[in-house]
Amino acid sequence: MELIGERAGNNISFWERSAQNFCSAPVKENLRADVCVVGAGIAGMTTGYLLACAGRDVVIVDDGPVGGGMTGRTTAHLVNALDDRFYEIEKMLGKDTARLAAQSHTQAIDRIDEIVREENIQCDFERVDGYLFAPPGASAKTIEEEYDAALRAGLREVQKLPGPPIIQHVDGPALRFPRQAQFHPLKYLNGLASAVARRDGRIFTGSRIVSIKGGESVRLETREGYNITARAAVVATNSPINDRYVIHTKQAPYASYVVTFRVGRDVIPHALFWDTAQTAEEEKKLLGPIPYHYVRLAPDGEDDLLIVGGEDHKTAQAFDFEKRFTHLEEWARRHSSAVGQLVDRLCGQVMEPVDALAYIGADPTGDENVYVVTGDSGNGMTHGTIAGILLADLITGRENTWMRIYDPKRKTLKPIVIADYAKENANVVAQLRDYLTSGDVSQANEIKAGEGALIRDGASKLAVYRDESGTLHRFSAVCPHLKCIVRWNATEKTWDCPCHGSRFDCLGHMVNGPASADLEPIF
Ligand code: FES
């Protein structure tokens, strides 16, 4: 991975190997626009597209290609069956919020459906059913509770079934959520990019924004020193690069693993599947902490791919990558006899808000005319589309009833949320112990080609990578965001920060915020 911002990890995702990279020129002059969108993932591209449709002069800037961040590493489930469960959202935020959350995700899927048809985007979009089921040995209580809560949230078509179809060796009940959907996220984003360009929107890739200052006119600056002046700016960088503290105390980064397998075309009917492991207190009591799983299919050449994800953990706080991939493979083979050759393995990152819903709206630090979107909560495709709809409405002065529930300034005083907030922030403080511990190795000659490791250097720690030709690359291991110590991710060959999820490629280039600078090289 030698190209800056090309993708957010060393492993190429199934989407990245089956779609063109949409790249354009970097910013090479000072620019003016109605709106500058920073970040060309699903949230940034949808916001830019809807604003261009509303007649706004839009500039979109990203340091990598369109979709080169986490949108290129999602499994792209388009759902109103939310990962955090409606009964949990009710407990944290109330029934009215659960209803608006269900409505907004339903409308996000519908909007994607409309855009695909109106813009004639060839992205394998299809409506599918989704099935939520209890893992083997778990009680039916979670499924029962979620069924009742989904009905209360307005999802009147959800059905209770004795078990999910297709997934073998599951004995518990399941819920069927109709009219979910799936697509190829990069083909969709490439279609949006073309649609933006047809409306005279300007997309710049290979340019990193390093400063955003709000005001009547928002002023943004690229790393090369060019200015962009706009009436509004949208920070859609997965984790906001403009806010150092506020939002990062309210969400936590989690790594999630994905494996794909060949299965014959149409051997398994296309559908989405999720088990309730780990998200359900009842299962935790019965079975101990067990990882949850999410599953879909996608066309790939002559075959279909079965895409299985899960095994999540806090970013940079577990290093047993091989074991986690093996667990996913064993789980897939146990639950489907159609699983064939293993094709892809990769690791992505999810931002988990403390109260389950994304943060979308005016910048919580009060920076005038600056808007943010973050906290995908494992439903990034729909949360990103909701962001596009909501932010386009806010910027063009239209009313939107979702504004309250997604407000980045919201405070939730329910004990269940306060406990999660305290736990996640205590976890961040605990990472500071890395200043006192020894390195992974004591000398650089212990580092193999293609690997990285931390080395103690007096009072400091160095992040050292040996490239395939044997050359050593040394960096300060101090994350430029808030100075936690990064750790080596051997499967994606990145330096990952355990505090708020900044990630850097093996050569120290930032590939995921909230940091907006690279690791400092040490010569
Ligand atoms: Fe915040 Fe590294 S991401 S300190």
Q: Is residue 104 part of a domain?
A: no
Q: Is residue 275 part of a domain?
A: yes
Domain with 167, as residue range(s), is 122-180+251-353
352 closest CA partner among 496, 155, 500 = 500
Q: Using pLDDT thresholds of 50, 70 and 90, give the confidence band for residue 6.
A: low
Residues 272 and 158 reside in one and the same domain: yes
Cβ pair 63, 51 in contact under 8 A:
no
pLDDT score of 414 more than 70: yes
Q: Is residue 274 part of a domain?
A: yes
- Give the CA radius of gyration of the chain: 22
354: which DSSP letter?
T
Residues 132 and 281 reside in one and the same domain: yes
CA distance 69 to 72: 6
473 CA to centre of ligand 1 in angstroms: 21
Q: Is residue 94 part of a domain?
A: no
Residues 166 and 266 reside in one and the same domain: yes
Residues 348 and 449 reside in one and the same domain: no
Atom of ligand 1 nearest to the CA of 484: 4
Sign of CA dihedral 224, 12, 111, 350: negative
CA distance 263 to 303: 6
Atom of ligand 1 nearest to the CA of 500: 3
224 CA to centre of ligand 1 in angstroms: 24
pLDDT score of 1 more than 70: no
The alpha helices in 7-140, defined as continuous H runs, are: 42-53, 86-93, 95-118
Residues 345 and 440 reside in one and the same domain: no
| 50 alpha-carbon distance from chain centroid | 21
Atom of ligand 1 nearest to the CA of 502: 3
Cβ pair 23, 206 in contact under 8 A:
yes
Q: Is residue 366 part of a domain?
A: no
How much is the pLDDT for 3? 44
pTM: 0.94
pLDDT score of 209 more than 70: yes
Atom of ligand 1 nearest to the CA of 248: 1
Mean pLDDT of 60-72: 93
Q: Is the CB of 412 under 6 A from ligand 1?
A: no
Of 353, 370, 398, which closes a domain? 353
Of 334, 353, 372, which closes a domain? 353
Residues 153 and 271 reside in one and the same domain: yes
pLDDT tens-digit readout, 267-307: 999 999 999 886 545 555 555 556 789 999 999 988 999 99
Q: Is residue 455 part of a domain?
A: yes
Q: Is the CB of 502 under 6 A from ligand 1?
A: yes
497 CA to centre of ligand 1 in angstroms: 6
Q: Is residue 399 part of a domain?
A: no
Q: Is residue 480 part of a domain?
A: yes
Residues 139 and 279 reside in one and the same domain: yes
Which CATH number do you get for residue 494?
2.102.10.10
Residues 333 and 446 reside in one and the same domain: no
pLDDT score of 328 more than 90: yes
Mean pLDDT of 406-416: 86
Residues 454 and 340 reside in one and the same domain: no
Which CATH number do you get for residue 146?
3.30.9.10
27 closest CA partner among 232, 230, 244 = 230
Phi and psi at residue 143, in whole multiples of 5°? -65, -40
**390: how many CB neighbours lie within 10 A of its CB?**
26
Residues 151 and 291 reside in one and the same domain: yes
pLDDT tens-digit readout, 442-455: 999 999 999 999 99
Give me the residue label for tokens 């659960």.
98
Total of domains in the chain: 2
Of 353, 372, 393, which closes a domain? 353
486 CA to centre of ligand 1 in angstroms: 8
